[in-house]
Amino acid sequence: MVASTGSSRETSSPSSRAIWLTLAGCRGMPPASMAAIRARAFCSGPGGGAGAAGVRAARERGEEGLSHQLFAVRTLGLGGRLAGSALPDYLSGLLIGHELRAGLAARDADAPLVLVGEPALCQRYASALALFDLAAPRLLPNTAALGLWRLSQSF
């Protein structure tokens, strides 16, 4: 399962205020090719796939609370409402959906969205943002090398 450690920050310049979502995979993440396959499957399939169902659950019923919805994930599998193999994607969608719900609530409505992170995980977040009826975010690939270079120049 792909997990995220996301954070958001605003840029300091008022003219370029943006919400930046930084995304990273967890240890044990599948190899890049497997991650890309899972990202494509995240929101595909009947009804948008299990990942999309998790995002929609967070978007539509997030007021129930994350802990309540996390506990309910197991019952979806036990009750046969979701296949056991779909539960990781549903859980990922639920977590992403709750993170976006919280971040978007604090966002200036006209601030652009920028995703920074591993491409397959950014694709999951972009798909989730579409389920929140938001325009496609800007994706910034390969920012780690530039960030390290800038850090080295500051010393």
pLDDT tier at 9, thresholds 50, 70, 90 = very low
Residue 50 has pLDDT above 70, yes or no: yes
CB atoms within 10 A of CB 45: 14
77-96 tens-digit pLDDT: 889 888 888 899 999 999 99
Residue 103 has pLDDT above 50, yes or no: yes
Residue 26 has pLDDT above 80, yes or no: no
Residue 107 has pLDDT above 80, yes or no: yes
57-79 tens-digit pLDDT: 999 998 888 888 988 898 888 89
In a domain, 141, yes or no: yes
Largest CA distance in the chain: 58
Residue 64's domain is classified under what CATH number?
3.30.420.310
Kindly report whether the global pTM for this prediction surpasses the value 0.95.
Answer: no
In a domain, 34, yes or no: yes
Q: Is 152 left (phi over 0), alpha (psi -120 to 50) or beta?
A: alpha
What are the angstrom distances between the C-alpha of 133 and each of 45, 55, 66? 19, 12, 21
Residue 10 has pLDDT above 50, yes or no: no
Quick one: pLDDT at residue 128?
Answer: 93
d(CA 153, CA 155): 6
d(CA 155, CA 152): 6
In a domain, 69, yes or no: yes
d(CA 64, CA 42): 23
Quick one: pLDDT at residue 147?
Answer: 81
In a domain, 103, yes or no: yes
Quick one: pLDDT at residue 108?
Answer: 85
Into how many domains does the chain fold? 1
Give all strands (DSSP E) within 36-128, no chain letters: 113-117
For residue 98, the Cα-to-chain-centroid distance in whole angstroms is 9
Binning the chain into helix, strand and coil, the percentages to the nearest 5 are 60, 10, 30
The CB-side HSE value for 20 (13 A sphere, CA atoms) comes to 11
Q: pLDDT averaged over the chain?
A: 74
In a domain, 1, yes or no: no
Q: Residue 86's domain spans which residues?
A: 7-153
